[in-house]
Every structure is written in C-alpha cells, then in structure tokens.
Amino acid sequence: MSRVDVYNEDYVGLNHAYVQMYKFYNRLLSTNDADDDVLSIIREILLVFNPTLDKIKSEMTVKTRFKEDNEPNQEAVNGNAIASGNKNSVIYYGNFTGN
C-alpha cells in the first residue's frame, strides 16, 4: 500500500474531523466563558490541518464523479464554507486570527 492509497481511503474521514473541530471551535467561541487556552490550541490545530488536507487532496488519485443530469452539483456557499462537488463534504476556510 502506498501513501496515496491511504490518502484516497482516509481523506473523507480526515476532512470530517476538520469540519467537526471547526464547528466546535465556533460554538466554543460564541460562549461567554470560553477557555482561551482551549481556543488557542484548537485554532493552531486548524491552521496546520487546513493546508495539510489541501496537500493530501492534491496527491489523491480518486476523481469526483458527477451525475449526468441538469441538477447543480454544488451546494450553496454560506459564510466561509466552500462546498465541494460532493454534496456530503464541505471544506471550511476560517479566519482564526482573533478571539
């Protein structure tokens, strides 16, 4: 097995983990008593994780297959979320510079 095989098999799970951490970060950020240490650590993880996911995705060999119909293949884009061709995955590009 090669690293590209691992990328192809595990990218969706890694992306899901990123999305879950991003949502957690934003929910925690909106609380009145958020722990600054936890916010800082999650922010650092997201800052490193995002370009890592991009690198993994750039080396993958799996192609996204689109249905051949007239329906749009992209979800609506809300806020900082960019929807991919796969309706079940979303990549978030957040601004983690402020609290």
Q: How high is the pLDDT of residue 80?
A: 43
Q: Angle 9-90-22 (CA atoms, 0-180°, nearest 5)?
A: 100
In tens, the pLDDT along 27-80 reads 999 999 999 999 999 999 999 999 999 999 998 885 544 444 444 444 444 444
Mean pLDDT value across residues 85-93: 57
Calculate Rg over the CA atoms of the chain.
16
Of the chain, the end-to-end C-alpha distance in Å amounts to 42
Q: What global pTM score does this model have?
A: 0.61
Domain edges within the chain: 3-92
